[in-house]
Amino acid sequence: MLYRDAALADGSGPSLRKGVSVLVDRGRILWIRPTSDEGDLPSDVHVVDAGGSTIVPGMVDAHSHVTLPGGSHWIDRGFDSPEELLEVAEHNGDLLGRAGVRWARDVGSPAAVDPRDGRKRALALRVRERWREDRSRPRLRVAGTWIAHSGVLPAGLTIEADDGPGFLAAAAKQLDDGADLLKLYLDGPKKEEAPWSTEAVRAVVDLAHGRGAKVTAHSGLLPGARVGIDAGVDSLEHGFELDSDLAAQMARQGAFLVSTLAIFRSWASFAHTTTLPRFVGDEGKERTARRRERAIESVRVAHHAGVRIATGTDFGGGSLRANHLAWEVESLVEAGLKPWEALASATIRGGELLGESEAGRIGEGGPADFFLVHGDPLTDPTALWRVWRVAWLPEAPGRAEPTRR
């Protein structure tokens, strides 16, 4: 398959490469050349006229919940049956692929008895296994089930641990089940303090690192963020209340921030589409607006300090849907990142967070994990909504372009 005369936006800089052709065979990129210098082509090549479109590396949704649908009742959906949640995951897989998302990092799914194998564990672990053999499905990194202090989230949704030994045991159980990383909920019952001590969190971090896994922490409030970074977690999710000192420490330690700013845009939309008091009431609107401004400032502080920012939607575990990552890229631009930097957060930085050298990148010899959009995402992040073609997804019968040389 030859993609001819496209532009290329790889997230590594502010400028498009124009007049580019990309030759793909068996899911790998054979070469990337100027269209004016394609050279001899295979006799059986299929040419896709990509003129006017931009090739973008497959994106990384670094904060997702693949077994949950999102929407205004997102917390309630965590108590749906395992059969329903696994069906939701398949639908989300379709949405992710069609939106140009190649990798998803699942940072929490309900623990339930899997109806297909009878094991009780985080359902996203089963999804990861099913998708591993299907090239058309997103690649997954899975955190197992959230680990939280009691009294924070609805009982039965998380693995609860109220002391150091219980906390460590809960972490070990998730790793034993096959989690790629651990997700710690570092907002506690008391807003002014973290739910566990720095020493308790560090013990969990040491356990995970010793077994080749990473640790990330939900951070809506500053006290938990401080404890997490002091304890050496690999990343903070959300980071809604960072300050300059903590951001500088994150940069020194190489900790990532995974932004999820678009959830506030989503909540604002619910003021027009739902009757839920937390969204339609004046108090709820004001609270959302205050939190949004604080969260935007946190991203600005982190970016200024040199913190590596990956990005996610929080779909499923929050209000967004699985095909909304473009909304988060827009939100990062609003927070002060340049469009190419925001695209890098959704591609290159996401790959770095995963530890996958090919994720979020495009290059000769690498996988054909790219998609094409109408427009220039390096100047207009909304172009990422206008997905035209996805290279790793099979084309419908009859849609292949004529063979020509």
Concatenate the DSSP letters of all residues of 101-161 into one string: EEEEEE----EEE-TTT--EEEHHHHHHHHHHT-TTSPEEEE--S-EE-TTSS-TTSSEE-
Measure the CA–CA gap between 335 and 240, rounded to whole angstroms: 13
Single-letter code of the amino acid located at 236: L
Single pTM value for the model? 0.96
All residue ranges of the chain with pLDDT < 70 are 396-405
Q: Is 29 exposed, middle or buried (0-12, 13-18, 19+ CB in 10 A)?
A: buried
Measure the CA–CA gap between 131 and 153, rounded to whole angstroms: 29
Which fold does the domain 59-354 belong to in CATH? TIM Barrel (3.20.20)
Fold agreement (2-57+362-390, 59-354): no
What pLDDT does 398 receive? 38
What pLDDT does 202 receive? 98
Nearest to 240 by CA among 181, 190, 314, 167: 314
Measure the CA–CA gap between 256 and 377, rounded to whole angstroms: 23
Q: Count CB neighbours of 269 within 10 A.
A: 13
Q: Which residues of 60-86 are buried (b: 16+ CB within 10 A; e: fewer)?
A: bbbbbbbbbbbbbebeebbebebeebb
CA 113 to chain centre: 26
What pLDDT does 14 receive? 96
Q: Does residue 240 sit in helix, strand or coil?
A: coil
What pLDDT does 7 receive? 98
What pLDDT does 115 receive? 78
What confidence tens digit (pLDDT) does each residue in 153-210 have?
A: 999 999 999 999 999 999 999 999 999 999 999 999 999 999 999 999 999 999 999 9
- Which CATH superfamily is 2-57+362-390 part of? Urease, subunit C, domain 1 (2.30.40.10)
Half-sphere exposure of 48 (CA within 13 A, CB side): 23
Name the residue ranges covered by the structural domains of the chain: 2-57+362-390, 59-354
